[in-house]
Structure 1
Amino acid sequence: MLRLIIFFLYMGGYLVYSLPALSRMRNLNAALPVEERDRIIHNVPQKWSSTIMKISGSQVKVTGQELIPEGPVVIVCNHEGDFDIPVLLASLNKPFGFISKVEVKKAPIISSWMEVMNCVFIDRSNRLNAINSLKNAAMLLKQGHSLLIFPEGTRSKGGPIAPFKVGGFRLAQDAGVPIVPISIKGTADAFEKNGRLIKPAKIEIRVCKHVNAKTVKEMDAKFLAQEVREIICSSLSDKKIAS
């Protein structure tokens, strides 16, 4: 319970503290290269997320970062728990925005930071709006930004990985960018499996070999989704992965 209280106190306090930084990020020099802008913006949520993970008391192991190519990519990750985003923000050197449900736009300050980070909000209840959001996401990729998707569409809470929805894969095809599969294990142990209390966990992130842009473009989207899911499942089933 103490970790949960500290978490909410820190989260609320830091968000208010970050308002001046948010204003600076919004007013960054538009002439800066995309990669440089993204790294400057990424610095603040990365620091916030790193502290969140310290509060949780969790140990995070990351392997394979050298496999992430330069330039814009679509990062595809299994979705185990609510801690997936802060763990990935804290651990990956590659700046990224992510696809989020539209309901998160109601969260003050957090949603503003997400907009600055080039996150994309999708209304799953409105097919036309969802299609337009994916078109906007493809445009961000073409501009040089990277995006992360959780193609299961919901948290597994440490259970089996659900089938992958194909929308995010068509997004990568439309933008002509590589796909980077990432497996994550242990985040549900930090929260979901504890009656929604925060407890220390062993978390492992594995970056797998990317699927190059040419292969992404040429493959059928449904087959591509299945292939990437198999890569992630294979990574998770490796006996060496933390438990």
Structure 2
Amino acid sequence: MFRTIRWFIYFWYSLISLIPDVKKVKKLDEQGDIAQKDQIVYEKASNWAKTLVELSGANVNIIGEENIPKDEAVLFVSNHQGSFDIPILLGFIKKPKAFVAKEELRKFPFISKWMEYMNCIFLNRSNNRESIKAIKQGINNLRQGYSMVIFPEGTRSEDGKLGEFKPGALKLATKSKVRIVPITISGSNNIMKKGSFIISPAEVDVMISKAIEIEEGMDKDTKSLTENIRNIINDNLEYKEKNI
């Protein structure tokens, strides 16, 4: 319980302490100094996220980081096991990235502002028009060189098993033509069980598979591409389960 209390104290205290940095980032944005703004946002956000994971007691193993293309935007496609998936990917994968997040995160004080400056998009699944608008913004972000992360299951897994992917989840890649990097997260659901706020140490593996090129015609039918990505992630999960 002490670990959990300490974690939440740091969570809110650190966000408040970052307010001066938010103001600095806002000023740089208004001045059009995007490169400096992006650098500060990436450094502050990734350091904050990494500390959150370390305070949980989790040990994160990154496998296959050499598979991440350098000097180009990519779409990271990951399974979604737990609440710590975002800070794990943000803090331990050394490439600036934004997230496709649920609309409800807009309501979180301090966090939502940082997410906006990271170029995250907020998906309102109950409003098709707003969802389409958000996806178009994500495609534009990728074309401008900002990597993004999507969890195509749409929600966290109840038991760590891989769920079905939402239809059209990979349009961000097929429309922008950026490469897809499949990511398999194993063990993050043990840090904070779904429906609980208790934080516990856990062993987490993040397996990064080889990047997949977007071929001609994939923007018209993403079914086979979606199945391929899902199979890669599922195979990694099953391999991990067999070798525990």
Provide TM-score, normalisation by structure 2: 0.91
CA RMSD of aligned residues (A): 2.1
For residues 152 and 143 of structure 1, what CA distance do their matches in structure 2 show? 26
Paired residue for 2:51?
51
Q: CA 1:19–1:216 in 2, change beyond 3 Å: closer, same or farther?
A: farther
Give the deviation of 1:202 after TM superposition: 0.2
1:181 aligns with 2:182: yes
Give the deviation of 1:221 after TM superposition: 0.7
SS at match of 1:238: helix
Q: CA 1:216–1:76 in 2, change beyond 3 Å: closer, same or farther?
A: farther
SS at match of 1:82: coil
Paired residue for 2:204?
203
SS at match of 1:167: coil
Displaced runs of 4+ in structure 1, greater than 6 A? Answer: none
Paired residue for 1:143?
144
Q: CA 1:230–1:81 in 2, change beyond 3 Å: closer, same or farther?
A: same
What are the superposed Cα offsets for residues 101-126 of structure 1, whole Å, 9 maximum, x if unpaired? Answer: 11111111100000000000011000
- Any gaps of 5 or more consecutive residues in structure 1? none
Contact 2:182–2:229 (CA<8 Å) still a contact in 1? yes
For residues 61 and 178 of structure 2, what CA distance do their matches in structure 1 show? 27
For residues 3 and 217 of structure 2, what CA distance do their matches in structure 1 show? 42
Paired residue for 1:100?
101
Give the deviation of 1:25 after TM superposition: 2.1
Q: What one-letter code is carried by the residue in structure 2 that aligns with 1:148?
A: V
For residues 192 and 198 of structure 1, what CA distance do their matches in structure 2 show? 8
Paired residue for 2:239?
238
SS at match of 1:205: strand
Q: What one-letter code is carried by the residue in structure 2 that aligns with 1:13?
A: Y
Paired residue for 1:19?
19
For residues 240 and 177 of structure 1, what CA distance do their matches in structure 2 show? 31
Identity %: 37
Paired residue for 2:77?
76
When structure 1 is superposed on structure 2, of 113-122 and 168-177 the one drifting more is 168-177
Give the deviation of 1:85 after TM superposition: 0.6
Give the deviation of 1:242 after TM superposition: 7.4
SS at match of 2:61: strand
Give the deviation of 1:217 after TM superposition: 4.0
Contact 1:216–1:224 (CA<8 Å) still a contact in 2? no
Q: CA 1:161–1:240 in 2, change beyond 3 Å: closer, same or farther?
A: closer
1:30 aligns with 2:32: yes
Q: CA 1:117–1:240 in 2, change beyond 3 Å: closer, same or farther?
A: same
Give the deviation of 1:174 after TM superposition: 0.9
Give the deviation of 1:194 after TM superposition: 8.9
For residues 188 and 216 of structure 1, what CA distance do their matches in structure 2 show? 36
For residues 195 and 113 of structure 2, what CA distance do their matches in structure 1 show? 30
Give the deviation of 1:21 after TM superposition: 1.1
Give the deviation of 1:215 after TM superposition: 6.3
When structure 1 is superposed on structure 2, of 93-102 and 21-30 the one drifting more is 21-30
SS at match of 2:182: strand
- Any gaps of 5 or more consecutive residues in structure 2? none
SS at match of 1:114: helix
Contact 2:184–2:206 (CA<8 Å) still a contact in 1? yes
Contact 1:204–1:241 (CA<8 Å) still a contact in 2? no
Give the deviation of 1:158 after TM superposition: 3.5
Q: CA 1:193–1:139 in 2, change beyond 3 Å: closer, same or farther?
A: closer
